[in-house]
């Protein structure tokens, strides 16, 4: 996308000024950075709607969120560069390092078209609005990148980026070179801005994911205090269209807290519309969730999302669940218990601790699904490594590997297995990092 926008901008500026003066170069860089910044932020707004139709192209919503994050960072970098290019000459003049240049002659308003004249009249408001929107975007993206900033507050403040984007869109429409609107760059930017504005309005009106939302009530729950794990069973009402094992959903237990993403830990049966989530206390909200969950409480479930669905043609699969990353494999085992598959499956569960009743449930699920279970407790068995996995599964190189757990753990296994001959496409990793 960055290369595409760069190419379109270059095409729109093939007729360079006869002399590349400081002012001319500054104007070119101002336009270029503006195109990149607003272009990528437009896609950021589209991805904020959680479009399911993009999941097959991007590898699931977890990969979509990763793209959303890095496009946002790219937009921030381009915006900072744009701000420096615009304001840099003024700073140099104030420091006495550069003389103030003469303003270029103004175009005769009688020679301008009505639209161009109208946009010219909005130039000063657009500059002011764009500057303040830039400050807001810098602050909001910085808060999103600070992991210590509570998720509840992040989710609420992050929505304000949509407001800032609308201001930046106004800034871009008014200040982009008018001649560019008649070229391929203008057509593409028009489509991006239109998509971004519509998406921003839908985000602000809380329409994101609305069509994939179902209500339910907590039917039962079980707390494993030693593991800080909560198992919650929810009876769903009309609205849930089903899910595949390995997918996840956004669950709202408390409207004040808002939705949080959790992997679904149960197979779907339309005749028995119940869905189970297994959550681990990893932060301020999930730590206190067991104290607030009560049978009968109303919850909202939005989804399903994700492509971590075990769909491949490999004769053998190797599953690796690190800690709470065991959840999607539990759902898949429950599905296989009802509809057995032909693949041989080895499940490695690497964890710091495992309560006896949790181990009993996991063992029973594995036996019912005909899955070979390998439980590895860190202090007892050590950490799962590529060497350990290869010794346990001799024909591992012909298997597909499905990993869900801490990112660092997954990356280490990914690099090790690929270095020993596993094809890149055979390693599937759920990122599950929503900010």
What CA–CA distances, in Å, run from 328 to 234, 279, 294, 349?
17, 12, 24, 12
CATH number, residue 286 = 2.40.30.10
Same domain, 70 and 150: yes
Residues 15 and 146 reside in one and the same domain: yes
DSSP string, 289-320: HHHH--TT-EEEEEEEE-S-S-----SEEEEE
Give domain status of residue 225, yes or no: yes
What pLDDT shows up at residue 377?
Answer: 93
Beta pairing class for 260-263 and 248-252: antiparallel
Tally Cβ neighbours within 10 Å of residue 121.
Answer: 11
Task: Give the span between the Cα atoms of 358 and 228, in whole angstroms.
Answer: 12
| Whether residue 214 sits in one domain with residue 199 | no
Q: Residue 202 belongs to what H/E stretch?
A: helix 184-204
Q: Retrieve residue 94's tokens.
A: 């104030």
Q: Do 214 and 281 share a domain, yes or no?
A: yes
| Closest residue by Cα to residue 427 from 301, 319, 282 | 319
Task: Provide the residue-wise pLDDT of the chain in tens; the chain has 435 residues.
Answer: 999 999 999 999 887 666 677 888 889 999 999 999 999 999 999 999 999 999 999 999 999 999 999 999 999 999 999 999 999 888 877 887 777 766 555 555 555 588 888 888 899 999 999 999 999 999 999 998 887 888 778 888 999 999 999 999 999 999 999 989 989 999 999 999 999 999 999 999 999 989 999 999 999 999 988 888 999 999 998 789 899 999 999 999 988 888 888 999 999 998 999 999 999 887 667 888 888 899 999 999 999 999 999 999 899 999 999 989 999 999 999 999 999 988 999 999 999 888 899 999 999 999 999 999 999 998 899 889 999 999 999 899 999 999 999 989 999 999 999 999 999 999 999 887 766
With a CB cutoff of 8 Å and minimum separation 6, the contacts of 178 are 115, 116, 119
**pLDDT number for residue 65:** 92
Give the pLDDT score at 434.
Answer: 66
- 111 and 225 in a single domain? The answer is no
363, 251: one domain: no
Same domain for 220 and 191, yes or no, is no
Strands 316-322 and 344-351, sheet pairing: parallel
Q: How much is the pLDDT for 232? A: 95
310 in a domain, yes or no?
no
What is the C-alpha separation between 120 and 265, in angstroms, rounded? 57
Looking at the 3D structure of the chain, how many domains does it have? Answer: 3
362 and 280 inside one domain: no
- Single residue among 278, 305, 332 that ends a domain in this structure: 305
- Position 218 in a domain: yes
**The domain containing residue 381 runs over which residues?**
316-430
CATH number of the domain to which 161 belongs: 1.20.120
Cα(45)–Cα(423) distance, integer angstroms = 34
Assess whether 196 and 217 both reside in one domain: no
Report DSSP state, residue 112.
S
CB-CB contact of 139 with 174 (8 Å):
no
What is the pLDDT at residue 226?
Answer: 83
Q: Residue 435 domain-assigned?
A: no
Residues 7 and 149 in one domain: yes
pLDDT of residue 153: 84
Same-domain check for residues 301 and 320: no
378: domain CATH number is: 3.40.50.80
Half-sphere exposure of 123 (CA within 13 A, CB side): 9
Out of 248, 276, 305, a domain closes at: 305
Residue 385 lies in a domain: yes
Query: Based on the domain organization, do 66 and 199 belong to the same domain?
Result: yes
Please identify which residue in the block is written with the tokens 């799962």.
384
CA angle 395, 398, 400 (to 5 degrees): 115
Q: How far apart are CA 304 and CA 258, in angstroms?
A: 17
For residue 81, tell me if it sits in a domain. yes
Q: Which of 305, 336, 370 is the last residue of a domain?
A: 305
Does any domain span residue 323?
A: yes
Residue 311 lies in a domain: no
pLDDT computed for residue 104 by the predictor: 57
């Amino acid at each position: 996308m960055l290369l595409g926008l760069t190419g379109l901008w270059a095409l729109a500026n093939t007729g360079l000024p006869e002399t590349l003066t400081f002012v001319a170069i500054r104007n070119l860089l101002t336009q270029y950075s503006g195109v990149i910044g607003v272009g990528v932020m437009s896609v950021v707004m589209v991805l904020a709607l959680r479009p399911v139709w993009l999941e097959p192209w991007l590898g699931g919503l977890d990969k979509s969120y990763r793209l959303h994050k890095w496009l946002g960072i790219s937009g921030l970098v381009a915006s900072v560069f744009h701000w420096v290019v615009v304001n840099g000459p003024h700073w140099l003049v104030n420091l006495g390092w550069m003389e103030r240049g003469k303003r270029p002659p103004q175009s005769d308003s009688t020679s301008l078209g009505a639209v161009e004249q109208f946009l010219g009249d909005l130039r000063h408001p657009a500059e002011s609005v764009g500057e303040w929107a830039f400050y807001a975007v810098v602050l909001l993206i910085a808060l999103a990148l600070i992991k210590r900033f509570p998720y509840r507050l992040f989710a609420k403040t992050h929505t304000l980026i949509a407001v800032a984007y609308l201001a930046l869109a106004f800034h871009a429409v008014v200040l982009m070179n008018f001649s560019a609107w008649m070229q391929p760059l203008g057509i593409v930017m028009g489509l991006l801005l239109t998509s971004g504005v519509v998406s921003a309005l839908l985000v602000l009106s809380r329409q994101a994911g609305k069509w994939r939302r179902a209500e339910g009530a907590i039917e039962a729950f079980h707390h494993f205090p030693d593991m800080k794990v909560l198992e919650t069973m929810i009876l769903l009402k009309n609205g849930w269209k089903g899910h595949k094992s390995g997918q996840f959903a956004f669950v709202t237990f408390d409207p004040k807290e808002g939705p949080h993403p959790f992997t679904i830990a149960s197979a779907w049966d339309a005749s028995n519309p119940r869905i189970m989530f297994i959550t681990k206390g990893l932060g301020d909200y999930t730590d206190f969730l067991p104290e607030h969950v009560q049978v009968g409480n109303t919850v909202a479930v939005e989804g399903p999302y994700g492509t971590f669905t075990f769909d491949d043609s490999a004769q053998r699969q190797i599953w690796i669940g690190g800690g709470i990353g065991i959840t999607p494999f539990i759902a898949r085992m429950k599905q296989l218990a009802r509809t057995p598959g032909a693949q041989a499956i080895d499940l490695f569960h690497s964890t710091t601790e495992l309560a006896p009743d949790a181990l009993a449930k996991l063992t029973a699920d594995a036996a019912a699904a005909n899955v070979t279970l390998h439980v590895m407790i860190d202090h007892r068995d050590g950490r799962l490594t590529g060497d350990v996995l290869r010794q346990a599964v001799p024909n591992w190189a012909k298997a597909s590997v499905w990993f869900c757990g801490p990112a660092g753990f997954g990356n280490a296994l990914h690099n090790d297995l690929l270095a020993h001959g596993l094809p890149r496409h055979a390693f599937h990793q759920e990122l599950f990092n929503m900010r």
